[in-house]
Structure 1
């Protein structure tokens, strides 16, 4: 039986360019799909946040390219806390899944591993 689950994740883009934001977003979403045995059809909604220094592209545009065409997507700017990780894309996704909460794989890649050392890949 499927139920609604939330999946978190983050990745650090190499630079504030459309290409770097696109590549980082693809890497993060692809890993979230794979690690949780999901398809874009399983997603209810996705909230993307970016650190204030990323403004060259919308991560949601990349998600649409990956098949998230019928999924409500929104982008926002993360709080600019002094000393926080730069060039960071974060995701909060709501999905339909048969996994238990304890079985959900939250994905933290690259430089964003420091955000959640307890669960980073």
Structure 2
């Protein structure tokens, strides 16, 4: 199968809004997404992060840059403020090229974000 452009989704939560804790959780999320899906660095196209309005101490993209993804286009945006939504939540959409089909990709939800997409296979 020829490589196609696909997207991986994931999310995590933070316990405290500090740059160090956000970096720890964002790096864990990205590392897990990349490892579980066998993604090579050169396959990455771009990464979009969103954060809920209670995450204000640093940009999630800053953590990605520090973990070696500085050459990948990164952007952050504010997550919608929805009643009953998951607080202190950082979401990610990773655009990549891959030979995997959509049903072979593994989306990753960690910490307090595990229940966001319980319809997805592990």
Bucket of the pairwise TM-score, normalised by the shorter protein: over 0.9
Partner of residue 93, structure 1: 94
Number of aligned residue pairs: 121
For structure 2, the residue ranges without an aligned partner over 5 or more in a row are none
State whether structure 2 residue 38 is matched by structure 1 residue 2. Answer: no
- CA shift digits 1:23-81 (9 cap, x unpaired): 11011000000010013321101100001100111111111122212211000110111
Q: Quick check: 2:11–2:113 contact (8 Å CA) kept in 1?
A: yes
Distance 2:96 2:17 in 1: 29
Partner of residue 32, structure 2: 31
Please, what TM-score do these two structures have when normalized by structure 2?
0.94
Please, what TM-score do these two structures have when normalized by structure 1?
0.94
Partner of residue 49, structure 1: 50
CA-based RMSD of the aligned residues comes to: 1.2
Shift >6 Å, 4+ stretches: none
SS in 1 for 2:69: coil
